Structure 1
Amino acid sequence: MSLEIPDGLGDLLRDFTVAVLRDRPNDLYDFAVDYFSKVKETRKPKSIPMYVIVDEDDEGAGEPDKEQFKPKTRKYNRYARRQSVSAERYDPEADDDDEDKVIYPKTDEQRERLTEAVCGILLFRCLEPEQMQDVIDAMFEKAVKPGEYVIHQGDDGDNFYVIDHGLYDVLVNVNDQEKKIHRFDNRGSFGELALMYNMPRSASIVAVSDGVLWAMDRNSFRRIILRSAFKKRKMYEELLENVTMLKSLEPYERMNLADALVTRNFSDGETIIAQGDEADGMYFVESGMIRVTINHPEGGEEEVGRHGAGKYFGELALIENKPRSANVYAIGKVKVAFLERDSFERLLGPCLDIMKRNSEIYKNYTESS
């Protein structure tokens, strides 16, 4: 099936991004809750256009012809309000065609620099190792000079960009004047929204210094990133549907939870969590078996259970804000879905009562041991 982008989603995302860039909140999650609560209450259109940019707000894709990357000199209204974009729909369930894969040869030094540049980008965190290799293969190097426009506001998206090094200003047209609203300083990425939502560029990106970017064309971006995100969400939604504790969640809450999960792999005998450690999140077993043990004060460990796919663990320390109360080890190869602490607190509120009741099992066992 084809992905249908809801009407108004692009505008909503752009408005929120401008608000974040303007107010620069210390806590993005609290700010988002307050912002969208106000939007829901007023339901009024904004008095100024919404712009999107920054690490996750501008997009691009296109054929990797080097001619496309020459500075543009033609005259046109780059800052016109959004126009309709006639772009092909992408079907994330369609089979990948190996012939569509793009590979740019790279030296060992280039691959090392690119790997370092992409390792901290949130957009790539759901990718498996082989998919990350596809990302590295599909990206090509682009040098820029001071004053060169990488992206023009109002243009169709052509490429997604990752910064290797250099300074880049984000400019939006306000009352026919370009205003700087952000600066990338030797790190970050931009250009994905236009590719994901088939919308024109919502801001301009101009190089302030000599720099180097890594670019990925539209087709590669969709084939690797969008398809991976779709498959990840579908897989996690199916996993979460079988977790009894989560039956109290609404479908959209489970969807948000699925988007927040990150896959982690463990080998036989490897420690997943250790008793006494600080809790950083909770886990859902995707595949394989885990072994749970408790340390005795006089020494040694006692096994208290084994669990397979669909089970969860690690929530007790988060609920009670205490160190881990048990050890968990992998039996054979184990794949788990990890939910970090902040996401746990934000997304699993409706399930806390059930979790607290289940936590009594651990307490009762400990007291009777």
Structure 2
Amino acid sequence: MGSIKIPRSLRTVILDFTMTFLMESPKDVLKFGYDYFKAIRQRKKTLKRHGKLFEDLYSDGSADGTGINTKTYCQKCGLEVFKCSRCNKLHKVCRVCTKKLKMTPMCAMAQPSIRKSATDEGDAPMTPHRQTRRYCVYSEGLNEKEAKEWKPPVYEKSEEQTRKLMSLITVKTLFKQLEPDEMETIVNAMFLRDVVANEVVIKQGRGGDFFFVIDSGDYRAYIKTEEGDVKILTNYEGHGSFGELALMYNVPRFCSVKAMTDGKLWTLDRDTFRKTVIQGAMRKREYHMKLLKSVPMLKALTEFEMMNVADSLDVRHFTTGEKIIEQGDDADGMFFIDVGKVVVSYTDEYGLDVVLDTLENGSYFGELALIEKQKRAASVTAASDVTVAFLQRDAFERLLGPCKELMTGKMEDYDAKREEMIRKANEDRRMTEIESVRSHE
């Protein structure tokens, strides 16, 4: 039987849907699929009303064969024209000829987008008709030379302000992947802005220049529908953040946010946000991809599947002698060793510790309890200073399906090895007892 060639347009649609499904992890697959493609259809209708440019959003009529109509050409040199990220207009001259304009591919404006529930990330939630996710947050190119020459702004703050701001942003998912020096850059670059009641902080449809973290005051996020009706999305009562979506995806503001009372907002400029947060996320992905590719078990994953795992990892550090896993605890995830050495041990019924294994860079542990859905069967202790990448249980169940058969095989080997080590420990203990008795005769 000949090989079946999958059309690029179908591959594009299925890839977008798969990415959205993996990140959202819905309980009802059929309902999620229905809502997703219904939203795509509605989005396409809306785009058609705004001009012929987006008419073939998901068709094979696109110039580049990806299923997304992205091509318009420069009147001077014939190169592809991009939409300007500053004024959000399609120029007649390409970025090579203008040189000064920052450009964004038209497909970045055409692709459907979604984000997690705002209750998790402290931003205004998307309405149902926009619930499809955009995953590539690097829609605006980050020039390597500019990034090296760029120096982040620094605004003076008291120690109390610095501590408070650090506590406000460290809980936000967006910043969790940043290294300590990157977090320091973010905090140093934020300045405090006073707002008054009824002031519109961000306006729907406008470009995005700042990200905001609430220091004090109440705020309301809302949208105006095509019919002119106002729909309230969420209220912020003294805490939260908003404004990152327009900066991440280089699109106009999705909603408006108005101050309901006088207050203060910590404000971060677009350049610092993108060069620190976005590049931090890129570095994290590249670093974790390198780590994951060193794990033989994960060779069963496709590049795309491995990328999803990489984006789900959290870095954790442990010092020599510190317990990473405690025997009998609930299983909350698995670990990949990046740097250092750990000892796997089992405490038997006599209270004696039996060393089962020693693991180093490129090894992993903690997956067996997740597969068996049982408590931890052994303890893991740092034998040196250790850096690990941690994958939470829900992400494990969602992303590592192709590897479970290999893990199950390892589980059988592990059980046999544990039994052998326990048997040997029991023999050693009996010999010690015999020698002790003989020494007293």
TM-score, normalised to structure 2, is: 0.66
Q: Does 1:338 find its partner at 2:390?
A: yes
Higher relative strand content = 1
Counterparts of 2:358 and 2:261, CA distance in 1: 57
Q: Which residue of 2 aligns with 1:200?
A: 252
What's the counterpart of residue 176 of structure 2? Answer: 125
CA distance in 2, matches of 1:139, 1:90: 21
- Residue by residue over 1:36-95, the C-alpha shift from the partner in whole angstroms, topping out at 9 and shown as x without a partner, is 52366565233668897854667xxxxxxxxxxxxxxxxxxxxxxxxxxxx96314x558
**CA distance in 1: counterparts of 2:283 and 2:113, whole angstroms:** 29
Residue in 2 that maps onto 1:157: 208
Kept after mapping to 1: 8 A contact 2:26/2:32: no
Whether 2:344 is the aligned partner of 1:292: answer yes
1:1-369 matches, within 5 Å, as: 29-30=25-26, 37-38=33-34, 44-46=41-43, 54=118, 55=121, 89-91=141-143, 96-97=147-148, 100-174=151-225, 175-368=227-420, 369=422
Deviation at 1:333, TM superposition (A): 1.8
Q: Which residue of 1 aligns with 2:53?
A: none
8 Å CA contact 1:51–1:202 kept in 2: the answer is no
Separation in 2 of the partners of 1:241 and 1:275?
29
Instruction: Report the Cα distance in structure 1 between the residues aligned to 2:257 and 2:28, rounded to whole angstroms.
Output: 25
Alpha-carbon distance change, 354 to 190 in structure 1, aligned in 2, over 3 angstroms: same
Whole-Å Cα distance in 1 between the matches of residues 29 and 212 of structure 2? Answer: 29
Q: CA deviation at 1:302?
A: 1.8
Contact 2:356–2:418 (8 Å) recurs in 1: no
- Check 1:299–1:167 CA distance in 2 against 1; reply closer, same or farther (3 A cut): same
CA distance in 1, matches of 2:184, 2:169: 11
1:121-160: per-residue Cα shift (whole Å, max 9, x none)?
Answer: 0001101122211111111112222211110011111011
Tell me the distance in 2 between the aligned counterparts of 1:52 and 1:316.
34
Alignment partners' CA distance in 1, 2:203 and 2:37: 34
Number of equivalent positions: 319
- C-alpha change, 1:96 and 1:289, in structure 2 (3 Å) is farther
Please state whether the residue corresponding to 2:383 is helix, strand or coil: strand
> 8 Å contact 2:123–2:240 — kept in the other structure?
no
Measure the CA separation in 2 of the matches of 1:100 and 1:302.
53
CA deviation string 1:148-207 (max 9, x = no partner): 111001111101111223322111111123211222233222111211221111110111
* SS in structure 2 at match of 1:172: strand
Residue aligned with 1:332, SS: coil
Displacement of 1:28 in angstroms is: 5.5
Distance 1:95 1:276, change over 3 A: farther
Supply the AA of the counterpart residue of 2:217.
G
Query: How large is the RMSD of aligned CA atoms in angstroms?
Result: 2.8
CA contact (8 A) 2:212 2:242 kept: yes
Instruction: Note the alpha carbon deviations across 1:259-296, whole angstroms, 9 max, x for none.
Output: 10000011112111111111111101111111211112
Q: Which gives a bigger RCO, structure 1 or 2 (Cα 8 Å, sep 6+)?
A: 1
1:345–1:160 Cα change, 3 Å: same
Structure 2 alignment gaps of length 5 or more: 1-11, 48-111, 125-138, 423-441
Residue deviations 1:283-332, cap 9 Å, x none?
A: 01111111211112212212221122211100111111211111112122
2:25 is paired with a residue of what secondary structure? helix
Residues 51, 172 of structure 1: 8 Å contact kept: no
Cα pair distance change 1:273/1:133, threshold 3 Å: same
| Rg (Cα) greater in structure | 2
Contact 1:285–1:335 at 8 Å: present in 2 too? yes
Contact 1:284-1:311 within 8 A present in 2 as well: yes
Q: Which runs of 5+ in 1 are unaligned?
A: 1-7, 17-26, 59-86
Question: 1:364 offset after TM fit, Å?
Answer: 2.0
2:370 counterpart SS class: helix
Name the aligned partner's letter for residue 286 of structure 1: D
Cα drift, residue 32 of structure 1: 8.8
The alignment partner of 2:42 has SS state of coil
